[in-house]
């Protein structure tokens, strides 16, 4: 017995205090350490945002240079981990590979699993941020049967990721600066989002004292679901299933039908009820990328544009305050860049790693933190006598 607050989905429970990210859902406001997301997306770059999330303030030029050098030093993964990749089936989803490989990192980097030592926590943070693009790119290369491409430390974070995904040993590959900028924006716009499901998962896993690699692997597993990070893949698959503009009304009708579980993927948000500020920037970026690549007649993108228009004009979506979210436009950009849909959620995971790590670090440095242990409302049988099997 006991009196507990019943709050399914934790819609009104604050699980921690934090100084990292602020969201005002009604105003469509997202701030990292006080800086608005649109300013960061426009003026900053991903590694600077990583520094901001990890260390409270924007770095000075010298601090930024030192941070970038540190991250660059950790981009390779232990050579033995290549064998770990090779143990997976060729057609494994890259998210499945990532959950496994990141979980296994604690077997390779013992020296940064002692969470009681702040220096080791620091090294684990840098390792995670540096190695996630390498791991995501390797998961991709493995799934298409191409050789792994080693990181190039003369490139910036986003360009290096594109290089590891799209370069092939026998050919010259030049990263287009506009695509690299668009990739970097996708990273920035996904970097952190306060106590969402995967971040709460990381914090809950960490509350038991689990090592950082295990905690991040738990976060990746949670992110994979279609209601969360998996929405970007699900959204593009939905657009492909719709297939042509004339079928849009049929799918909008299905999304409105209470007896049909179908939802418009890439629409709606738990916190944003006016607009998703990340989606605003992402939409602009999508236009730039499509323009650059000269893509106008792609049927998927035509369906996306028309679906957005028709849904926004529909009273059902207006009344329920359902707007395109970040995953709606990021999928369009990634599709145009040539990523298969299976890579969309891994790219979200690598971008969110800094958010998970910053929240993990904040939690561990809070002297009041304790193991997370929700209670329940028990609705089952009260005590009853055991009956022998022959008497049932
Ligand atoms: N299409 C059609 N109806 C919807 C949708 C949708 N995408 N989203 C919510 N609704 C309806 C829902 O049926 C419910 O109606 P009613 O009040 O009549 O029962 C109402 O809107 C409220 O929905 P909810 O499920 O109670 O809201 P929630 O805050 O629990 O869920 C959500 C938020 C994002 C899970 C949900 O909007 C959804 O499933 N969207 C599609 C998946 C998606 O795009 N997820 C990405 C979220 S943003 C990035 C991230 O977190 O990774």
pLDDT band at 2 (very low <50, low <70, confident <90, very high): low
Please choose, from the candidates 153, 138, 140, the residue with its C-alpha nearest in 3D space to the C-alpha of residue 47: 153
Q: What is the mean pLDDT of residues 353-380?
A: 94
CA of 268 to the centre of ligand 1 (A): 5
Going by alpha carbons, the residue nearest to atom 11 of ligand 1 is 320
Q: CB-based contacts of 95: which residues, under 8 Å, 6+ apart?
A: 139, 220, 224, 230, 342, 345, 346, 349
Q: What is the mean pLDDT of residues 6-19?
A: 94
Residue showing tokens 């390498």: 134
Q: What is the mean pLDDT of residues 263-267?
A: 93
**What six digits make up the tokens of 108?**
């390779």
Sheet (strand 29-32) strand order: 21-24, 29-32, 35-36
Cα(271)–Cα(7) distance, integer angstroms = 16
Is pLDDT at 345 greater than 80 in this prediction? yes
Query: What stretches of 144-276 show up as alpha helix (H) in DSSP?
Result: 157-166, 177-189, 197-207, 212-223, 231-242, 248-256
CA of 163 to the centre of ligand 1 (A): 35
Q: Give the pLDDT of residue 297.
A: 72
Cα(11)–Cα(177) distance, integer angstroms = 41
Going by alpha carbons, the residue nearest to atom 14 of ligand 1 is 320
pLDDT band at 215 (very low <50, low <70, confident <90, very high): very high
Query: Which residues are part of the catalytic machinery?
Result: 269, 327
Q: What is the mean pLDDT of residues 113-136?
A: 93
Residue showing tokens 């993108």: 301
Q: Please provide the average confidence, as pLDDT, over all residues in the chain.
A: 93
Going by alpha carbons, the residue nearest to atom 41 of ligand 1 is 265
Please report, rounded to a whole number, the percentage of residues in the chain having pLDDT higher than 90: 82
Is pLDDT at 151 greater than 90 in this prediction? yes
Q: Give the pLDDT of residue 329.
A: 87
| Residue 235 Cα: closest atom of ligand 1 | 44
Domains of the chain as residue ranges with CATH: 8-228+342-364 (1.10.580.10), 231-337 (1.10.230.10)
How many other CB atoms are found less than 10 A from the CB of residue 180? 20
CA of 269 to the centre of ligand 1 (A): 6
How many other CB atoms are found less than 10 A from the CB of residue 157? 23
**What six digits make up the tokens of 252?**
């909008």
Distances (CA, A) of 63 to 48, 70, 325: 10, 11, 34
Cα(333)–Cα(186) distance, integer angstroms = 9
CA of 288 to the centre of ligand 1 (A): 28
At residue 327's C-alpha, the angle toward residues 324 and 329, to 5°, is 70
Q: Counting runs of H as helices and runs of E as strands, what totals does the chain give?
A: 17, 3
**Residues within a 6 A CB radius of ligand 1:** 9, 196, 227-229, 231, 255, 263-270, 320, 322, 325-327
Provide the ipTM.
0.95
Cα(74)–Cα(80) distance, integer angstroms = 15
Please choose, from the candidates 339, 29, 389, the residue with its C-alpha nearest in 3D space to the C-alpha of residue 161: 339
Q: Give the pLDDT of residue 359.
A: 98
């Amino acid at each position: 017995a006991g009196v507990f607050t019943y709050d399914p989905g934790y819609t009104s429970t604050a699980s921690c205090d934090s100084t990292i990210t602020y969201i005002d859902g009604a105003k469509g406001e997202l701030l990292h350490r006080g800086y608005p997301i649109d300013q960061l997306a426009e003026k900053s770059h991903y590694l600077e945002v990583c520094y901001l999330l990890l260390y409270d303030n924007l770095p000075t030029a010298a601090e930024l240079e030192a941070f970038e050098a540190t991250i660059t030093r950790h981009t390779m993964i232990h050579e033995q981990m290549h064998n770990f990749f090779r143990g997976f089936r060729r057609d494994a989803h890259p998210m499945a590979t990532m959950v496994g490989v990141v979980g296994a990192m604690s077997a390779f980097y013992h020296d940064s699993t002692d969470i009681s030592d702040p220096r080791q926590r620091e090294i684990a943070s840098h390792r995670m941020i540096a190695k996630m693009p390498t791991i995501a790119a390797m998961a991709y290369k493995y799934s298409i049967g191409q050789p792994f491409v080693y990181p190039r430390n003369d490139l910036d974070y986003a360009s290096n990721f594109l290089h590891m995904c799209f370069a092939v040993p026998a050919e010259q590959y030049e990263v287009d600066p506009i695509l690299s900028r668009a990739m970097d924006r996708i990273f920035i716009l996904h970097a952190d989002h306060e106590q969402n499901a995967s971040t709460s998962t990381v914090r809950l896993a960490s509350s038991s004292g689990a090592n950082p690699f295990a905690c991040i692997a738990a976060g990746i597993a949670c992110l994979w679901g279609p209601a969360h990070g998996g929405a970007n893949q699900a959204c593009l698959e939905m657009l492909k299933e719709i297939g042509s503009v004339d079928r849009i009304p049929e799918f909008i009708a299905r999304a409105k039908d209470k007896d049909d579980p179908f939802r418009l993927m890439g629409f709606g948000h738990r916190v944003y009820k006016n607009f998703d500020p990340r989606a605003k920037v992402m939409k602009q970026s999508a236009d730039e990328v499509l323009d650059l690549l000269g893509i106008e007649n792609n049927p998927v993108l035509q369906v996306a544009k028309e679906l957005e228009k028709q849904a926004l004009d529909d009273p059902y979506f207006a009344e329920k305050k359902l707007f395109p979210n970040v995953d709606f436009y990021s999928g369009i950009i990634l599709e145009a860049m040539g990523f298969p849909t299976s890579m969309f959620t891994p790219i979200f995971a690598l971008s969110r790693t800094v958010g998970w790590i910053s929240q993990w670090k904040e939690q561990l440095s809070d002297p009041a933190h304790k193991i997370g242990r929700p209670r329940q409302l028990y609705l089952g049988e009260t005590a009853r006598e055991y009956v022998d099997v022959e008497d049932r």
